[in-house]
Every structure is written in structure tokens, then in C-alpha cells.
Amino acid sequence: MRILVAMSGGVDSSVVAGLLKEQGHEVIGVTMKLWEGENGEMPETGCCTAADSEDARKVAGKLDIPYYVLDYTDSFSNSVVDNFVEMYSSGLTPNPCIECNRSVKFDHFLDQANQLGCDKVATGHYAKIVNNENRLELHRADYKEKDQSYVLHMLTENKLDRILFPLGTISKPVVRQMAANLGLKTAFKKDSQDICFVGNGDYRNFVANKMDLNSKGDIIDLEGNKLGEHTGVHGFTVGQRKKLPGGQGSPKFVLEIDTLSKKVVIGTKKELEQDSFIMDDVSFVRDTTYTNLEVQIRYNSETVPCTISKLDRNKVKVLLSRPTTGVSPGQFGVLYSDTKVIGGGRIEKKKAGVLIE
């Protein structure tokens, strides 16, 4: 089988390429150039850097497989970076990694696989594809500490048919040992945690440099009482606790960001709780009946039992079994049934203190 391997320059994708080559497959390594500095080159900090690309090239050379770097900077800038800036300017909290998977990576990798005559696309994500009575399902990885199914919820059954996640049953320590056994220089390379286009910098400064958001506004409570002032709404996210006034009696949290009036509403942890929310841009892995649902509202957060009701084709209402404080508009809610991913969508904004009807 001819397989396109998405190579990030990290240990996970390096092992995927080596593992598939050992299994006798014809492997082609591909790295996406998604972001560039002022000189048009890959950035020096963050993920998807010039050094990462060089590491991927060296791994491909060690494994004796073809290797390509493909330029998708325009697509990434339009679909991910512009979305990131727009959402922060609208008082939302974006997840650029999910947006990249949703709008750029997998579609382009699958298209490129077609052009190169590849049967499958393989990545180093920790997740599992399970064939259940000839229907494909997306499941959590066996190694729960690194499970990445949350950021893959947008993959439909049709796409899963052309994708491989070889690390779904392997632990990270074993992956590193496999890389060492293969003699790969990425064996003990540190995982990147940075947003690729922000790097080691402050995302607030990045947003401020893209748009004129440094306009003053009031920080108020739910009753409208002024508690302080701020210099720009992009400096806040719903659920934020740090750097807020009026927290001497009890901790205060951001409840709402009103970009029109430039007001930031804060309140207590109890006032932050929600027992329902609406998700838009919803997609499901496959069409089926959903039972015993749980929702995860942040990467690596605990799931909460829930029920859903469809409002229209791409929108659902999520009713939680218990109130939670982790609901952040702009983030994604991902639905599970045990380890199986059902689907997910973007959490809509709501008015602070007003339950969704």
C-alpha cells in the first residue's frame, strides 16, 4: 500500500513513517508549510518551524523515503489565522489547532494523497479508527494521557476510510523507545506546545498587532456596577480569573465579553456555571442514534454526561447533567459515547446570567 505520512518533525509522526515502512508499505513523507516569517521562511519558534521541517527531512533520509514540503500558507492564513484574530476580537476563545485540522490539514493531505497516488494518509495523532460491523468509528486512544480524539472530531466516516492512526494503541514512552530503536534523532525531542503563528510570544499582542482593539472599556458586574477599566477586550477570555478587580471577598471570573459596548462582565464562580449551551458548525462522524452521551468542552478536560437536541442541520442544544464552569464560547464541545467520538461543534456565545431558552 502507498501511504502519505504527515510529518511534523516530531517523534510521533517520525515513528509512524518508520513503522509503516517496516510493515512493507511504500511511504511518502510530507510536511506542510503553514506559516512564514517576514523573509518568507518557516518560523524559528512555535510548532511547524524550519527546524521541525529539517528534522522531518533527516528522518525521511534515515528511512530512505521520498519527502516533500508543501506550501499551504495562504489557506492557513485565511482559514486559521484570520479566524483566530476575528474570534478574539469578537469576545470568543478560538482553538486554532482544531480549526487547522477542520479547514486545512486533512482536506489538503487527502487531496495531495490523490495526486501522489496514495491509498491512505497517516498521521501521528493518538486516536483509534475502529471497524464495527463494516462501519468506521473514531475512538479515544488507548493511552489516555495523550489522547487527541478531541481535536479530530470533525473527521467523518468517509474521511476515516482513507486515514490511518497507527499510534492509537501505543503509549508515548513506547513510541519514544521505538524511535530510538530506529535510530531517529527525534526520539527524545520535546513536544511543541506553542501556537505555530504566535510562537513564544503573547497571543494578545499578536491579535492587537493585527487589529485596532486597544480601546478602553468598563469592567462591570451582573448588576451593571462599574468595578474597573480595561484597555482592550482581546485581553480577556470567558472563565478567566487573573487580573480582575473586585476579587477581595471571593474570586471573580469573566462571565461575558461585549465587544460592541466594550464591557467585560465579571462575577462569582457560581455565576459562571452553565447547565446548557448551544453548539454551531456541528458535524457528526456518522449518521446514527446517539445514547449515553458525554461532552468534553476543552482539550484534556473531564467529560460531563449530557443529552442533545438538534435545532437545525448544523446546530444542537446541549443539556448538561450538572452545571459546569468550563463553557467558553468559541471553544469546541465534543460528544462521546464511552470512548467513541460522536461529533462536535463550536460553542456559541450567550448573554451572561441568562439561561439559553
CATH class of 214-271: mainly beta
According to the CATH classification, is domain 2-124+166-181 in 3.40.50.620?
yes
48 is a catalytic site residue: no
The grid coordinates of residue 174 equal 513506547
Q: What pLDDT does 150 receive?
A: 97
Angle subtended by helix axes 82-89 and 203-210, to nearest 10: 90
The grid coordinates of residue 343 equal 461529533
Q: What pLDDT does 46 receive?
A: 52
Residue pLDDT, tens place only, 57-94: 999 999 999 999 998 989 988 999 899 888 888 888 88
Residue 253's pLDDT band (cuts 50, 70, 90): very high
Q: Is the pLDDT of residue 96 over 50?
A: yes
Q: What pLDDT does 131 receive?
A: 96
Q: What is the mean pLDDT of residues 348-356?
A: 58
The grid coordinates of residue 175 equal 513510541
100 is a catalytic site residue: yes
Per-position b or e across 196-228, b if 16+ CB within 10 A of its CB: bbbbeeebbebbbebeebeeebbbbbeeeeebe
Residue 237's pLDDT band (cuts 50, 70, 90): confident
Residues whose CB falls within 8 Å of the CB of residue 230, separated by 6 or more in sequence, listed in order:
216, 217, 218, 219, 236, 264
Residue pLDDT, tens place only, 255-286: 999 888 889 999 999 999 999 999 999 999 98
| Residues 136 and 130 sit within 8 Å (Cβ to Cβ) | yes
Q: Rounded to two decimals, what is the model's pTM?
A: 0.89
Catalytic member of 47, 48, 118, 196: 196
Topology at the third CATH level for domain 272-347? Elongation Factor Tu (Ef-tu); domain 3 (2.40.30)
Catalytic member of 47, 48, 100, 306: 100
Q: What pLDDT does 207 receive?
A: 75
Residue 355's pLDDT band (cuts 50, 70, 90): very low
Residue pLDDT, tens place only, 13-47: 999 999 999 999 999 999 998 876 555 555 555 55
Q: Which ranges constitute the DSSP H helices of 144-218?
A: 157-160, 172-181, 203-210
Q: Show me where the domains of the chain are located.
A: 2-124+166-181, 214-271, 272-347
Q: What is the DSSP letter of 77?
A: I
Residue pLDDT, tens place only, 182-223: 999 899 988 876 677 776 667 777 777 776 666 789 999 999
Q: What is the mean pLDDT of residues 152-169?
A: 97
Q: What is the mean pLDDT of residues 303-328?
A: 93
